[in-house]
Structures are given as structure tokens and as C-alpha cells.
A = this chain, B = another copy of it.
Amino acid sequence: MPRPRDLLQGTLDLLILKTLTWGPAHGYAIARWIEQLTGEVLHVGEGSLYPALHRLDERGWVAATWELSDSGRRTRVYRLTPKGRAQLKAESGSWKQFVAAVGKVLDASEQPV
């Protein structure tokens, strides 16, 4: 029984990059945004979130800085880099291509020659 979250594979990076186009954010907020926007369909666990964030940082797609939130709490804030913006464009393209390809199979009513 594959719940939607089992399909998250490989798409998380894309989602994170996209949320960062709305401005800098810290990890917890990113996860919340995604969950809210999708009406709880997508649940981003912390064990997926933080490794992903570190991964994006290593690859230079986001830049991380320690900052103090309004409440004086220590937070790690992530910003999209130019490289990350380019990556987002590329990944978003292959995502669309992939969805279209799967759609072709799923919508086909007859078997090919």
C-alpha cells in the first residue's frame, strides 16, 4: 500500500528549491509550507528534510547562515543561490517531462505495436 509519501523520492530537492524562491527560510518553515500547500498530502519528515538541506548546501544550490529569529531563537536560514536557481529550472523541466511520460503510459488505452 504505497502512500503518496513513498513517491517523494527525488522530488524533495525540487520542492525545497521551489519554496526558497519565495525568500529565505529555515528548515522547519520549509517543511510547513510544503505540507500546508499540499493540504497535508505531502509530509516532509525531519529525517528527509535535513539531509536534503545539507545536500543542497554541499552542491552550492543553497547558502546557509545562522541567524536569530524575531523571538531570539537560533535558526539556520537557507537562501537560493544563482546555481540553485538554474538547478531548479532544470529539475522542474525534467519533472514535467517525467510526469508527461508516465501520463502517456497511464492514459494509453491500447497496446503499442
Q: Does A26 have its Cβ within 8 Å of any Cβ on chain B?
A: no
Q: Does A4 have its Cβ within 8 Å of any Cβ on chain B?
A: yes
A39-80 vs B, Cβ < 8 Å mask (1 yes, 0 no): 101100000000000000000000000000000000000000
Chain B residue contacts of A2, Cβ below 8 A? 10, 13, 90-91, 94
Task: Report the copy number of this chain in the oligomer.
Answer: 2
What count of chain A residues pass the 8 Å CB interface test?
A: 42
Q: Could you list 9 A-B pairs, sorted by A, with CB under 8 Å?
A: A2-B13, A7-B11, A7-B98, A18-B106, A22-B111, A23-B111, A37-B112, A42-B98, A95-B106
Closest 5 CB pairs of A and B: A9-B9, A22-B111, A38-B101, A41-B101, A4-B98
Interface, chain A (partner B; CB < 8 A):
1-4, 6-7, 9-11, 13-15, 18-19, 22-23, 33-34, 36-39, 41-42, 90-92, 94-95, 97-102, 104-106, 108, 110-112
